[in-house]
Amino acid sequence: MNDVNYIGITSTNWNDVKGTEVAPGIYKRSIWSGEKGKRAVVFEFEAGSKFPGVDAHLTGPEQIFVISGVFNDGENDHNEGSFINNPVGSAHIPQSKVGCIVLTTFPEG
C-alpha cells in the first residue's frame, strides 16, 4: 500500500518571517505552532548577546538545533550542527559570543 497523505502538512521558510527582538540582540521568528502550545521558533543571536535571566523549563522540554554559529547555554559552547535537549526542570542562560542561529522546538508546549 503506497497511499500518500499531505493533509495538514505546512511549510515555512524562516527567512520569510519577520523577526521580533525579544531581548537586546536576540530575534525570534515563529515558524510553526500547534495544539497545546507546541511550537517551533528560530532565534538569531547577534555576537555578544545574552538572554537577560534564566530560561527555566518548568512545563515541558525545549530542544535546540544550532543552524549556524556557536550557541552557549551559560556553561557549554555548542557548535553548528549540535542538538541540545533541555528536559523538564532544566534551566540555562541562552547566549552567544560570536552570534548564532538556532531552531528551537517545544514538543510538549
Report the alpha-carbon distance of residue 21 to residue 18 in Å, rounded. Answer: 10
Asked whether residue 6 is domain-assigned, the answer is no
The residues, any chain, with a CB within 8 Å of residue 50's CB and separated by 6 or more, are 23, 93, 94, 95, 96
Asked whether residue 2 is domain-assigned, the answer is no
pLDDT at 94: 98
pLDDT in tens, 63-78: 999 999 999 999 999 9
For residue 44, give its domain range: 17-106
Of 66 and 108, more confident: 66
Question: How many domains is the chain built from?
Answer: 1
Asked whether residue 96 is domain-assigned, the answer is yes
- pTM of this prediction? 0.92
Asked whether residue 5 is domain-assigned, the answer is no
Asked whether residue 9 is domain-assigned, the answer is no
Model confidence at 2, pLDDT cuts 50, 70, 90, reads confident
Asked whether residue 98 is domain-assigned, the answer is yes
Mean pLDDT score, 92-102: 98
**CATH no. for residue 48?**
2.60.120.10
